[in-house]
Amino acid sequence: MIEFEWPWMLLALPIPLLIIAFKKYGTMEKESNQTTYWWSSHALPSSTASTPSPEGWFKTSNILLMFAWISLVVAIARPIWVGSPTQITPSGRDLFVALDLSGSMQISDMYYQSRPVNRLVISKHVLSDFIEKRKGDRIGVIVFGTKAYLQAPLSFDTKTVRQLIQETQIGFAGEKTAIGDAIGLGIKQLSELPSDKKVLILMTDGANTAGRVSPLQAANFAAEQGVTIHTIGIGADEMEVQGFFGPQTVNPSEDLDEALLENVASLTGGKYYRAKSTSDLEEIYGDINNIEPTPSEEMWQRPKDSLFIWFAILSGLLTLGTIVNKGNVILRWRTKK
């Protein structure tokens, strides 16, 4: 079904007809004031009878121009194709994911399909799978490094949210880690919402090294606002690197502040998880996914697609066809003449 955002623009459709009628009336008025002479058909000059008029050939151009005008007016009226209603069963949960994009997330101590990948790559992969399963939740994304930013507002459109997650890159938000600011931004987005199930999942591989807000202060405020925070510390305990004297085993997660993450989760009624591998991270999101949804009323939505561009293109093509057709008619008429 087609709807129009500006249906009143359709009132412009008869404008060309009004112009033609007005012009014709003016011509008739002018002719009525002039003397009319009549000749028999055999008295007409032979050149007039033998030279065809191009007016008849312009009929095709007029038809094309008419449809070009109709397409243009319809485009200006902003047509929208409204699809069939689809059912949404929201869980009543508003869930934000705060994803660390600091420099340490580029450490390749995780494995995906038997090959080493950095922490951000595996985080985006597992997180995308998790979001795909969250049918009915409104999900948003916060990214943080030296500063915290809103990457995606709360939305039922999980496909778009997943796409925005895939577009994130290390260093977008700075090289340091502002955990407190990320929590604060999440609270700001969730605090004014009426839902009694507001969740923030915080993923990081380090400690709070930037920002204006203390993580524990932010966690206390989150508890007051009814926001539950689940924290995930990501990073392997051991990693083999090539040193000056050969391979060495190091702890790539020595900067991870597990005590802080545990306190933040505890203060808000959430859980702290430790992801040392890809399988750990998948299990963690599986556990979070098992949280019982809050029953709520079913919702219906109708997908909408704008048709403006198609009618605008059609109008342009018809106008171009009119110009080409008139040019050909004039050329043929001059040739025969």
Concatenating the DSSP letter of every residue in 34-64 gives S------GGGS-HHHHHS--TTGGGHHHHHH
Stretch 73-78: mean pLDDT: 87
Which residues have CB under 8 Å from 182's CB, separation 6+?
98, 142, 144, 148, 202, 211
What's the pTM value of the predicted model, to 2 decimals? 0.60
- The rounded Cα 283 to chain-centroid distance in angstroms is 30
Return the domain boundaries, the chain.
1-9+57-84+302-337, 87-298
CA-based nearest residue to 168, from 203, 208, 194, 218? 203
pLDDT computed for residue 90 by the predictor: 55
pLDDT, tens digit, 9 for 90 and up, residues 143-195: 999 999 999 998 888 889 999 999 999 888 888 999 999 999 999 998 877 66
pLDDT of residue 2: 79
Q: Output the average pLDDT for the chain.
A: 80
The architecture that CATH gives domain 87-298 is 3-Layer(aba) Sandwich (3.40)
pLDDT in tens, 108-133: 888 888 888 999 999 999 999 888 88
Closest alpha carbon to 52 in 314, 257, 336 = 336
